[in-house]
Amino acid sequence: MSKDIKNEEAMLLDGLAAIKDYAKLNADMLTREDIAGFFKGIELDQAKFGMIEGYLMSNGIKIEGLDAKDNAYAKSVLEEEKAIIEKEAEENDTKAGNTLKEADYTEDEAMYKDYLEELNAIEKLSDHDKADCLTKIFNENDEDALIRLETELMKETPSMIEEFKNKGILTSDLIQEANLAMIAYVTNMNYVRDHDKQAAIKSEELESILGVYQEMLDEIKSDVSASINIMIDEQMDVFKVNGKIVNRVNMVNDSAKDLKEELVRKPTVAEVAEKTGLSEEEVIDTIKFSAKKIEDIDLKGIKI
């Protein structure tokens, strides 16, 4: 690198430091003429001058007649900052949104243990009893047999939720979802219209009928898995939204505090919007989400 280039870089850095100090004395407001005056002696083409303007605007300094969103450099910086915030929100979604505490899990495990003990206290159906229930359901649509089958299948649902435990959902909620999916399957009775199952029941062979029972178990497990996955996806969406809201609230709150210190007054919604790269509507929505805990913004004339 030549000596001239080194000197030019040093002059550029000195000029940036000096103009930032000058801007602080002028409520962070500059003109293009102010900027040009601090970089006399340096050859700046339009692109380099635009980068200097963008750098200043991305640091919260306003330039008369210019909008940060119209400057390529400032826009890229603002977009990068927003991307970082969104990435942090993605990484911290569950932590930010999940309000479950250790005490919740402890209580949940105790309740689940009691539930299993109650299930184990119910007498299990023998293979012949299972075959009898299925035969009566298929041939007579027997309601008592249907209830006995549901009770027996309820003992199977705890094994169906094992893979979903410890993923941010309480075990009691998993069991409830599994039992609802099982009951929906049994009461819809679509299996009764299955020709292969009908043939197996009509054979009156114990092994064939128990094969129908196993097929039904597999189908119920598939329904339970699908139902729980939907529940988990919905819960994660809630966590994600909560995480993004928390990050946005923090960003707006911190920006408002910084501006208040710089301006020696509360900044307006428009000023905070420009500082954060958000729209004024997004800033107002963020204040609402914070339950009005963001206090360093001037809200005169704005209904929250």
Spatial neighbors of 140 by CB under 8 A, at least 6 apart, are none
Does 39 share its domain with 103? no
The pTM assigned to this predicted structure is 0.50
- Which of 84, 117, 137 is the last residue in one of the domains? 84
- Assigned token pair, 229: 């996955």
H or E segment at 148? Answer: helix 143-154
Does 232 share its domain with 102? yes
- Assigned token pair, 230: 């939907």
- Which of 191, 221, 237 is the last residue in one of the domains? 237
Does 106 share its domain with 214? yes
**Residues 56, 35: contact at Cβ < 8 Å?**
yes
**Residues 161, 171: contact at Cβ < 8 Å?**
yes
Q: How many domains does the chain have?
A: 2
Does 65 share its domain with 172? no
Mean pLDDT lowest among 92-101, 109-118, 207-216:
92-101
Task: Give domain status of residue 295, yes or no.
Answer: no
Per-residue pLDDT band at 95 (split at 50, 70, 90)? very low
Does 171 share its domain with 214? yes
Q: pLDDT tens digit string along 44-61? A: 777 777 878 877 887 778
Task: Give domain status of residue 249, yes or no.
Answer: no
Give mean pLDDT, residues 82-107.
58
- Which of 237, 262, 281 is the last residue in one of the domains? 237
Task: Give domain status of residue 15, yes or no.
Answer: yes
Residue 137 has a pLDDT of 95
**Whether pLDDT at 91 is above 60:** no
Q: pLDDT tens digit string along 233-250? A: 777 655 555 556 667 778
Does 148 share its domain with 211? yes
Residues spanned by the domain of 55: 3-84
Per-residue pLDDT band at 252 (split at 50, 70, 90)? confident
